[in-house]
Amino acid sequence: MSGRLVIRAAVAVAGGLLFCSPVAAQNPPPAPRAQHVEIIKGPALEISHDDVAIVRWTTNNPRGDDDHYSVIHYGTDPNDLSQTAKNHIRLNQSHPETIFRVRMDGLKPATTYYYKVTSIGYDGVSDGVESSVRQFTTAAPGQVTSAFPPPE
């Protein structure tokens, strides 16, 4: 009995491979880029440890390529935001809004950082939105700071 089950399973797998459509497995083409992207919520500190911080913000969906990047320019001087961190994100084209998050590593504890955020497509082209300069202070050694409400 188990031999028949193995044969049936093998036939089912082989049939699936022979008759699958490569077109059905492809990703849909990118949606047209949004004409106007704006920050709806944030940016703000989500959480901070002594050497790590995560900043989060929400925009209307920028559309374009599904692959995007959250980008933050930061530093300890508001006039020198020369450090950059970015995180990959996949857009959900059916959602009207997109939540972007960036993790910054190697920060100094109990230090004030200044930052501004933006987002870019996979091709490196900006979505046309950039925040004003904001600030946060990392937590003291061994502490955790959570300044943004948890996601709903």
Residue 40 three-state SS: strand
- pTM score, two decimals? 0.74
Looking up tokens 């972007």 gives 100
C-alpha distances in Å from residue 53, one per residue of 36, 64, 96: 29, 28, 27
Q: Where are the domains of the chain?
A: 39-137
Rounded-to-10 torsion of CA 64, 68, 74, 80: -50
Res 110: pLDDT: 93
51-65 per-position pLDDT tens digit: 999 999 999 878 888
Residues of the chain short of pLDDT 70, as ranges, are: 1-2, 5-6, 9-34, 147-152
Res 152: pLDDT: 47
Res 35: pLDDT: 73
Res 107: pLDDT: 96
83-96 per-position pLDDT tens digit: 999 999 998 888 88
Which CATH superfamily is 39-137 part of? Immunoglobulins (2.60.40.10)
